[in-house]
C-alpha cells in the first residue's frame, strides 16, 4: 500500500513538472509571437513614413508633367511611343548634359559614363525638360541609370495594368529609390517577376 502511494505521488509530481514546462514553453512562444508582431508593425510604420515622404517629393509640381494625370494615362504614358512624342530634341538635351557636367566639375571626356536622368521619368508622368526634374546619374552601379530604367519600366506596367496608381509609382521612383529597388524591382504590384517582357520606351 505504501509503495502504491509513493508511486502515485511521484506520478503527480511528474505531471506537475510537465505542466510547468509546457506552460513556460507556451509563455516563451507567446512572447516570441508578440515580438514578431511588434517588429512587423514597426516595419509597416517605417514603410508608410517612407512612402509618405517620397510621395511628397514626387508631387513637386516642378518635376511633373501637367499634361499627365491618373485619368488620362491610357492616352499618355500607357500609349506606345508616348515618350518619343514629348521628349525634347536629342541635341538640345546633350547640350544641357554638357552644361551640367561642367557645373559639377566632371571632365567632358568622362561624359559617356553618365546619363541625363529625369528624377521622375517621362513614363511615370515626369516633366521632359523641367530643370528641377533633371539630374546626372552614372550608367552602372546600384544607383545607376540602367537599374532605374528597369524599375521605371516595371512601375509603368503596374500603372497601365491598373495595379498601382500613378501617384504610388511616382512615390516609388522619387527620392532614394535605389534603397528600395529590391522590393519594388522584383514584384512591386503583384506576383509576376522580371521586366524582360516590358515595353522598351525610354525613361
Angle, helix 166-173 to helix 2-58, in steps of 10 degrees: 90
Q: How confident is the model at residue 11 (pLDDT cuts 50, 70, 90)?
A: low
Q: What percent of the chain has pLDDT above 70?
A: 60
Per-residue pLDDT at 56: 47
pTM of the model: 0.66
3 state SS for 136-174: EEECCCCCCHHHHHHHHHHHHHHHHCCCCCHHHHHHHHC
Q: How confident is the model at residue 61 (pLDDT cuts 50, 70, 90)?
A: confident
pLDDT in tens, 112-135: 999 999 999 999 999 999 999 999
| 52 pLDDT higher than 60 | no
Q: What percent of the chain has pLDDT above 90?
A: 48
Q: Specify whether the CB–CB gap between 87 and 122 falls below 8 A.
A: yes
C-alpha grid cell for residue 66?
501637367
Coil, strand or helix at 108: helix
Residue 115: φ, ψ to 5°: -110, 145
Per-residue pLDDT at 53: 44
Amino acid at each position: 500500500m505504501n509503495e502504491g502511494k509513493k508511486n502515485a505521488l511521484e506520478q503527480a509530481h511528474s505531471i506537475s513538472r510537465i505542466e510547468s514546462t509546457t506552460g513556460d514553453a507556451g509563455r516563451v512562444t507567446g512572447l516570441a509571437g508578440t515580438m514578431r508582431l511588434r517588429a512587423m508593425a514597426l516595419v509597416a510604420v517605417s514603410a508608410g513614413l517612407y512612402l509618405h515622404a517620397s510621395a511628397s517629393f514626387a508631387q513637386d509640381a516642378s518635376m511633373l508633367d501637367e499634361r499627365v494625370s491618373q485619368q488620362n494615362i491610357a492616352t499618355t504614358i500607357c500609349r506606345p511611343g508616348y515618350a518619343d512624342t514629348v521628349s525634347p530634341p536629342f541635341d538640345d538635351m546633350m547640350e544641357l548634359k554638357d552644361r551640367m557636367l561642367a557645373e559639377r566639375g566632371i571632365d567632358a571626356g568622362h561624359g559617356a559614363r553618365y546619363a541625363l536622368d529625369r528624377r521622375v521619368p517621362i513614363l511615370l508622368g515626369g516633366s521632359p525638360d523641367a530643370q528641377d526634374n533633371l539630374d546626372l546619374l552614372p550608367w552602372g552601379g546600384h544607383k545607376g541609370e540602367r537599374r532605374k530604367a528597369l524599375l521605371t519600366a516595371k512601375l509603368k506596367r503596374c500603372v497601365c495594368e491598373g495595379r498601382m496608381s500613378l501617384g504610388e509609382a511616382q512615390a516609388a521612383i522619387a527620392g532614394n529609390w535605389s534603397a528600395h529597388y529590391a522590393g519594388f524591382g522584383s514584384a512591386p504590384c503583384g506576383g509576376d517577376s522580371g521586366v524582360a517582357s516590358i515595353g522598351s520606351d525610354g525613361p
